[in-house]
Amino acid sequence: MLKNYIKIAWKVLLRRKFFTFISLFGISFTLLVLMVASSLFDHTFGPQMPERETDKLLFVNIMREQRDGGFSSSGPPSYRFLDQHVRTMQTPEMVSINSMFFQVNSYINNRKLALDIKYTDRAFWDILEFNFLEGNGFSEQDVRGANRVAVINENTRKQYFGTDKAVGQHIVVDQVRYKVVGVVEDVPALRLHSYADVWVPITMKSQEFSRPGLRGTYFATIKARSAADVPKIKEEYAGIMQEVERQQTEKGTTLSSHPDTFLESIARTFLSNGKDSGIGILYVIMTVLALLFMLLPTINLVNINISRIMERSSEIGVRKAFGATSSTIIGQFIIENIFLTLLGGLLGFVLSAGVLWLINDSGVIVYANLGLNIRVFAFGLLLCLVFGLISGVYPAYKMSRLNAVEALKGGSK
Amino acid sequence: MIRHLFKLIWNRKKSNFLLMTEIFFCFLVLFGVMSLVVYNVRNYTKPLGFEHDNVWLLTMRPSADSAALNHQKLEQVVQQVRAYPEVSHAALTNSNAPFAFSQMTDNLSYGNKRSSQADHYEVDDDYEDVLQVQLSQGRWFGPEDNAAHHKPIVINREMQRQLFGEEEPLGKLIPQNDSVNYQVVGIVDHFRGYSEYSAERPAFFTRISLQQSDKSFWGELLIRVKPGTGVAFEEKMVQEISGIGKDWTLEVATLEKMRQNKSKLTMVPMIALGLVCGFLILNVALGLFGVLWYNISRRNGEIGLRRALGASANQVYRQFIGEVLVLATFGLLLGVAFAVQFPLLQVFEVESVVYFLALGISVVVIYILVVGCALYPSRQAATIHPAIALHEE
């Protein structure tokens, strides 16, 4: 039966090539846009090198202080706070403290390299899974002794050393001479908590460690033993924050800081400032945007589908005259439409692979490595089915209601 | 004629309804994107109020030494930079240097008038020469302000408009707090430091005086270099400065590079949106074309009859174009009713002109689009020979 439906659908597609082209164009480009968007989303928030186990990773990146009278200030927390309160937490498997990245200059052969430098501890290399091309992350001894060692990324190696091996050589960044101990694959700039061009021991900044106050320039990366531990970590953290808030000398101070996944922290920054991360709202907004975007192509497809089925009214008339029920006809048409959308989806996949390659190549996003993986693929497939269903239901319903006699005569208005 | 067309459309209201919703949504999308484009283009064409060629920005992040020591080192750095023969001028500024990502806003009030979210730039005496700011009235800060009783400020034209209206602003006092007053010493016509695409906002400059405050620190130094100065000098300068400020983190960027980064931030989303919008419209146009073609070809009998009764090919042609235009007008009326709410309710703080321009452009584009789509099918319909058409029926 299914085979028959698909055969008919194929024949119909070949009959009016211009209409087929319009339908396929609409479907494939709609899916193209949605696929590129979902790939971008996955690239930013999904499990990717070096943050592969996203369900176990939490980040602390904001500390907000509010006092009675409207004063409010927020930014990354200080080293002292993270060292005293976060590194000592019981539930996580590991905690790393690392600085935000800073842009600094490096000069080589009358050329300037603007490099982003990040100060990290040893746990950083244990928690995150970088792809090392050469060497390794620096050791605990390096961190403790504030040794001038650095891990650089592939692009910096290319800029600085050309095609040579980098490990063992020296690189001068921000007027400091570091020995290169490792080279990693480029980390996309959208991975705010791991990205840098050059990583050096955090102890290079040791003069800042004792600076009082809660605000500074540091992040914490927390790894849970298992994904199920994440709520426990959040609970422990909330307890710590209450304790810290109580210790504040200034009356009426409220502090707010949370260990979040990257997506949660984005949602929290833009959508809420309370306890709830606002991630639910974020999902709703994204769904609504996607549906709004799909609305126009869907109406268009419905329009074309209606025109096309009117051509087939005699076929429907015959089927109805021989006893086919409305639901069979609706079923047939929906299957036909899903077949069409899947075809368009296939085209969309090919197109989006091309567009993603173009985006990567253009360097609009630094070190972007957008690609189609199984998650994006599955999402695309889902979109195809939804799209096919939505745009197929109304025309199919309309068609199934045709009166057999009228349909045989050549359709209604 | 028009009434006749309405009747024809009403008779096929079901299929026309879908076309109308399509035009309606298409218009809304186009209006949204056009508003953004018009807003950015209008801002881009306004003068910036300064020259950024050959200007570098040196950012200094000091170490944890005492404030007094850092201040002392900063004085040395500024002196050192100004002494280079390659440097023509250098000026300290707060973190909101032109094209930087940081912003500082403040409100001023004069009498019962209050400025809305004004940009506050803290700058020193040489800022005028570094950025070649053009004053239209009054003067820039200078050593004569050292002994001034009130804090001198320079304001821009937008700020003047909001605070003083028609009044002459030079010499007027604006209270900063209960005990200190600002005194207006100069006016610039334009100054849009944040981005080439940002709107003209009220702005004011206050004076940095290194000598008078011995503990404060400003981390950004704007440097105008002589044309042709390159990386070699930059390296030398950074090396020598890091000799003064040990453990400081130094960064040099050209304003041109910063401008490009900023403009990328506006252009990339705009181009992406434009492409998506373009695709949607192309999609709708193709669909419209297909549906019109199909619908018109189904009305052979009607066309044959009209031709047989003496209507010319031209009249038939005009009928179909007219029908499509009426249809589009319905969709547009609905769309315009929605779109007009934006300027009426002032949803975002954007001049109404932007919306009306966008509205006009969108309406014209949609009309061109539908007429373009209807042209070919209508011509096909008009060439139908009455005998053949009637025979088919």
Q: What is the pLDDT of residue A273?
A: 58
Q: Is A405 exposed, middle or buried, given 0-12, 13-18 or 19+ CB atoms closer than 10 A? A: exposed
For residues B250 and B242, the answer to whether their CB atoms sit within 8 Å is: yes
8-state DSSP, B128: H
Cβ partners under 8 Å of residue B310, min gap 6: none
Q: How confident is the model at residue A97 (pLDDT cuts 50, 70, 90)?
A: very high
Domain ranges for chain B: 2-46+262-392, 63-247
Contact A201, A138 (CB under 8 A): yes
Name which of A55-59, A63-67, A184-188 the model is least confident about: A63-67
Task: Name every chain A residue with its beta carbon within 8 A of the beta carbon of B283.
Answer: 25-26, 29-30, 296-297, 300
Q: Within an 8 Å CB–CB cutoff, is residue B26 touching chain A?
A: yes
pLDDT at A140: 92
User: Is residue A322 exposed (0-12), middle (13-18) or buried (19+ Cβ within 10 Å)?
Assistant: exposed
Q: What pLDDT does residue A275 have? A: 64
In the Cβ-directed half-sphere of A413, how many Cα atoms lie within 13 Å?
Answer: 9
CB distance B250 to B58 below 8 Å: yes
Average model confidence (pLDDT) across chain B: 87
Q: Which residue has the tokens 């070649």?
A: B132
Q: How far apart are CA B355 and CA B200, in angstroms?
A: 17
Q: B249 to chain A, minimum CA–CA distance in Å?
A: 7
Mean of pLDDT values over B98-113: 84
Q: Which residue of A has its CA nearest to B239?
A: A175
Q: Which two tokens stand for residue B226?
A: 């002589």
Of B329, B321, B326, B299, residue with least CA distance to B374: B321
Residue A412, pLDDT above cutoff 50: no
Structure tokens at A73: 């200030």
User: How much is the average pLDDT of B270-284?
Assistant: 90
For the stretch B196-243, pLDDT in tens is 998 888 999 999 888 877 788 888 999 999 998 888 899 899 889 988
Give the model confidence (pLDDT) of B285-299 as tens digits. Answer: 988 888 888 888 778
CB-count burial class (<10 Å; 0-12, 13-18, 19+) for A38:
buried
Q: Residue B58: what pLDDT?
A: 93
Contact at 8 Å (CB) between B365 and B37? no
Q: Does B252 touch chain A (CB under 8 A)?
A: yes
Radius of gyration of chain B (CA): 32
CB B104 within 8 A of CB B220: no
Cα distance between residue B133 and residue B91, in whole Å: 13
What number is the average pLDDT over the span A160-182?
Answer: 89
CB B207 within 8 A of CB B231: no
Most confident segment among A202-211, B64-73, B280-289, B357-366: B357-366
Whether chain B has a CB inside 8 Å of the CB on A77: the answer is: no
- Check if B256 contacts A (Cβ < 8 Å): no
**Composition of chain B by helix, strand, coil, percent to 5:** 55, 15, 30
**Residue B64: strand, helix, or coil:** coil
Most confident of A99-103, A304-308, B2-6: A99-103
- The shortest C-alpha distance from B382 to chain A (Å) reads 21
Quick check: B156 and B169 in contact, CB under 8 A?
no
Tell me which of A109-123, A179-193, B286-300 is least confident. Answer: B286-300
Answer yes or no: are the C-beta atoms of A382 and A68 closer than 8 Å.
Answer: no
A110·B231 Cβ contact <8 A: yes
Q: Are B71 and B245 in contact (CB under 8 A)?
A: no
Per the model's pLDDT, the better-predicted residue between A271 and B339 turns out to be: B339
**pLDDT average, residue stretch B121-136:** 91
- Given a cut of 80, whether residue B282 has pLDDT beyond it is yes
Mean of all residue pLDDT scores within chain A: 85
Taking one residue from A and the other from B, the number of pairs with CB-CB distance under 8 angstroms is: 99
Read off the pLDDT of each residue in A227-232 and give the average, rounded to a whole number. Answer: 90
CA distance B275 to chain A (A): 10
Q: Tell me, what's the pLDDT at A200?
A: 94
Of B50, B138, B157, the C-alpha closest to B97 is B50
User: Is pLDDT at B348 greater than 70 in this prediction?
Assistant: yes
Least Cα distance to B100 among B270, B217, B254, B249 occurs for B254
pLDDT digits (tens, 9 = 90+) for B142-199: 888 888 888 899 999 999 988 888 888 888 888 887 788 899 999 999 999 888 998 8
* pLDDT value for A70: 67
**In this complex, is the C-beta atom of A110 within 8 Å of any C-beta atom belonging to chain B?**
yes
Sort residue B301 into left (φ over 0), alpha (ψ -120 to 50) or beta: alpha
pTM score of the predicted model:
0.81
Q: Spell out the SS3 assignment of chain A.
A: CHHHHHHHHHHHHHHCHHHHHHHHHHHHHHHHHHHHHHHHHHHHHCCECCECCHHHEEEECCEEEEECCCCEEEECECHHHHHHHHCCCCCCCEEEEEECCEEEEEEECCEEEEEEEEEECHHHHHHCCCCEEEECCCCHHHHHCCCCEEEEEHHHHHHHHCCCCCCCCEEEECCEEEEEEEEECCCCCCCCCCCCCEEEEHHHHHHHCCCCCCECCEEEEEECCCHHHHHHHHHHHHHHHHHHHHHCCCCCEEEECCCECHHHHHHHHHHCCCCCCCHHHHHHHHHHHHHHHHHHHHHHHHHHHHHHHHHCHHHHHHHHHCCCCHHHHHHHHHHHHHHHHHHHHHHHHHHHHHHHHHHHHHCCCCCCCCCCCHHHHHHHHHHHHHHHHHHHHHHHHHHHCCCHHHHHHCCCC
Contact status, residue A43 vs residue A369, Cβ threshold 8 Å: yes
- pLDDT bracket for residue A413 (50, 70, 90): very low
With cut-offs at 50, 70 and 90, classify the pLDDT of residue A120: very high
Nearest residue, CB atoms, A174 vs list B26, B250, B284: B250
Residues near A332 by Cβ (< 8 Å), separated by ≥ 6? A5, A8
pLDDT value at A69 more than 80: no
The structure tokens listed for A99 are: 């600085």
Q: Is some CB atom of chain A closer than 8 A to the CB atom of B284?
A: yes
Query: Alpha-carbon distance B252 to B20, whole Å?
Result: 56
Helix (H) / strand (E) element for B41: namely helix B13-45
Q: Which helix (H) or strand (E) holds B125?
A: none
- Round to whole Å and give the CA distance between B312 and B306: 8
Q: Is residue A73 a contact partner of residue A65, using CB atoms and an 8 Å limit?
A: yes
> Per the CB < 8 Å rule, is A29 touching B239?
no
Decide if A300 and B251 are in contact by the 8 Å CB cutoff.
no
Query: Phi and psi dihedrals of B272, rounded to 5?
Result: -60, -45
Q: Determine the residue among B25, B58, B69, B286 to mutate to test chain A binding: the one whose Cβ has the most chain A Cβ atoms within 10 Å.
A: B286
> What average pLDDT does range B377-393 have in this prediction?
76
pLDDT higher than threshold 90 for residue A359: no
Choose among A84, A96, A126, A74: nearest CA to A273. A74
Closest CA to A267 of A279, A283, A259: A279
**Tokens describing residue A194:** 């791991």
At residue B89, the 3 state secondary structure works out as strand
Q: Which residues of B touch A175 (CB under 8 A)?
A: 238-239, 242, 250
Average pLDDT over residues B321-336: 90
Is A257's pLDDT higher than 80? yes
Residue whose C-alpha is closest to residue B59's, from B34, B77, B86: B77
